[in-house]
Structure 1
Amino acid sequence: ERLIAANPACREVIFPYIGGEELNSHPAHAHHRYVIHFGERTEAECRARWPELMAIVERKVKPERMALRNTADGQRLKKTWWQFGRTRPALNAAIAPLSQVLALSRVSQHLAVTFLPARMVYAESLVIFPFETYAAFCALQARPHEVWARFFASSLEDRLRYTPSDCFETYPFPAGWETDAALEAAGKAYYEYRAGLMAQRNEGLTALYNRFHDPDEDDPAIVRLRELHAAMDAAVLKAYGWDDLLPLACDFVLDYEIDEATWGRRKKPYRYRWPDPVRDEILARLLELNARRAKGG
């Protein structure tokens, strides 16, 4: 704020910066950091328009860049020391016309998708999806996508490690999912209720979903969240044309086997999800659909 007050033009290149911890821990996914992002502008232009910001980057970034080894990549980073070392032009282009994007923490105990403003710089710890509709939120947050992601993702300790190339790019979304009115309605109802609940309880996504998956949690507000999640699941299954599977009920199932004798008083790793036979049937249908589409069917 001080820099922008002194030179309003700084607003063009100072961006909020957010990572997985803020996304999962703050009820409103609020950031507390900023970054200077000059894009692909030249050194001369940056010095002319934002000398105070270039002084900061020159002091804090340039020494580290100049200390890099003289590999091809190191030389490139030294030559453009005031610019980001790694950018994602395709993603940036997809985000450009949007007001918000969907995001989730790359490594997390829970697959929890949320909206973030589009004008931010996102840490590597986040996975960003260039969609701004509740229909897209519904398709990504509902259990069919989670079943797929947990099957194909790697894990870090007991946490899901979401890799877009394995979990998103291969996922066979239902036909017309981006404009499906039923997905839009179910996603909006769930998202708005969840956001209100987090604000009311001053809880982030991790704390909320810990309660969501706790078999001892019978708070009516959490019970309602589970019901709305089931409504999203049903909307997605109907979008696939898999009405024969409905209605479906969830249960509290251990995420992995534990040794009861040595587990002690620690909280058991329950997850409120579909029973294994249901999960396996849906995964089999998704795999079959993916294979059929790969063959052009």
Structure 2
Amino acid sequence: MATSNRLVANQGRSFIGSYVLGKGFILSPQQAEDLIQRDPRNKDVLFAYLNGEDLNSRPDCSASRWVINFHDWSEERARSYPEVFAIVERDVKPERLKNNNRQRREIWWRFTRPAVDLYRAISNLDRVLVVALVSRTVMPARVSSQQVLSHKIGVFALEGADHLAFLSSSIHSSWAWRNSSTMKADLNYSPSDVYETLPWPESVIELTAAGQALETTRCLIMENRRIGLTKLYNLVHDATIAASDITSLRGLHEEIDRMVADAYGWGELDLNYGFHSTRQGVRYAIDPVVQIEILDRLLELNHGQHDLEAANGVFHRKNRNNPKGWNEISAGSPEIPTPVDDVLF
């Protein structure tokens, strides 16, 4: 299979959440509320903690737990919140001191990967788009940016309804299945291999109203049925389900996919929506033959855009000093920011 290339145009917009490493950081909502009631300053270091399971299983995609977060602070600054620091010192430090990684032992009061670049990128956004990294659903949701997002969540520094619609399209999910590994029957979504390689159409602003309708409809169905994204889309892909709310949601996805195809200039394609057999089982989706055509076109666009970026002197390159293989943008393109790598603590 021909490989796709990471695109400079998509750099710095997709991330993986924080890797906490330490159950002692985790609190119940009641524990967090009690700490804040005793000292309102504790709100500086206590946050809702959203993981992939909550995102896909709770009707409002909300966090069920909270987390202590001392950011990238020094031990001295963290100790200025004595009651909270005492919890981490008691419940996290003993386990961290057993860790083979020296930095994890020495900087035990902080997350092992604080994802500084992520929170910097979303600092001016009220909401962000997120997706569970291990999932068969591959459906994004808009959630509050004022929380800690777990390493089981992919985060996009985007908040518009137009972006929600595009990332909810079959075009995005088909590209994700093509460019990601799988874990049993689930997709193991890789932001660097999916989002960073996906050539976007020139504009998606026309998808705004459809994205708003999708979000409103989906939230209402999940609230009424008391189900999360996974169970909702199990119903969408079940050919025996003909309930009006589910058929309405199917119709919205058809509309979004047609609009995305039009945005790429592919209006002549007959998407031939229906219940089709796929590697993931029977799915309500675009005809698999048409999906192949779409993937071929996306790959051609990817190669063309990558070649153009290289011709203009900007391209991804590996940083030899970075063992994780994070990519940087080459020198010669000062107008495009280089992302800050996370330090593994």
The two structures have a TM-score, normalised by structure 1, of 0.90
CA deviations over 1:129-176 (Å, ceiling 9, x no partner): 111101111111111111111111111111111111111110011113
Q: Which residue of 2 aligns with 1:6?
A: 38
The Cα offsets for residues 225-275 of structure 1, whole Å up to 9 and x where unpaired, read as 1111111111111111111125x3312122239xxxxxxxxxxx3111111
Q: Is 2:265 the partner of 1:241?
A: yes
Alignment of 1:1-297 (within 5 A): 1-48=33-80, 50-69=81-100, 74-177=101-204, 180=205, 182-246=206-270, 248-256=271-279, 269-296=281-308
Separation of aligned partners in 2, 1:221 and 1:45:
51
- What displacement does 1:119 show? 0.9
Query: Does the residue aligned with 1:15 lie in a helix, a strand or coil?
Result: strand
Deviation at 1:101, TM superposition (A): 0.7
Identity of counterpart residues, as a percentage?
A: 37
Runs (5+) with no aligned partner, structure 1: 258-268
Match of 1:185, as an amino acid?
A
State how far apart, in whole Å, the 2-side matches of 1:256 and 1:137 are. Answer: 25
Contact 1:186 / 1:235 at 8 angstroms: preserved in 2? no
Task: Give secondary structure in 1 for the equivalent of 2:61.
Answer: coil
SS where residue 276 of structure 2 aligns? strand
Relative to its length, the structure with more helix (as a share) is 1
Cα deviation, 1:85-106, whole Å, max 9, x if unaligned, reads 1122221111100001111111
TM-score when normalising by structure 2: 0.78
Contact 1:26 1:203 in 2 (8 A): yes
**Inter-partner Cα distance in structure 2 for 1:15 and 1:221:** 34
**Which residue type is aligned with residue 102 of structure 1?**
L
Matched to 1:58, the amino acid is E
The aligned counterpart of 2:319 is: none
How far off is 1:58 after superposition? 0.1
**Residue 17 of structure 1: SS of its match in structure 2?**
strand
Secondary structure of 1:223's counterpart equals helix
**What is the root-mean-square deviation in Å for CA atoms of aligned residues?**
1.4
Q: Distance in 1 between matches of 2:53 and 2:277?
A: 25
Deviation at 1:277, TM superposition (A): 1.6
- Per chain length, whose mean CA-contact separation is higher, i.e. which structure has more relative contact order (CA < 8 Å, sep 6+)? 2
Number of matched residues?
Answer: 277
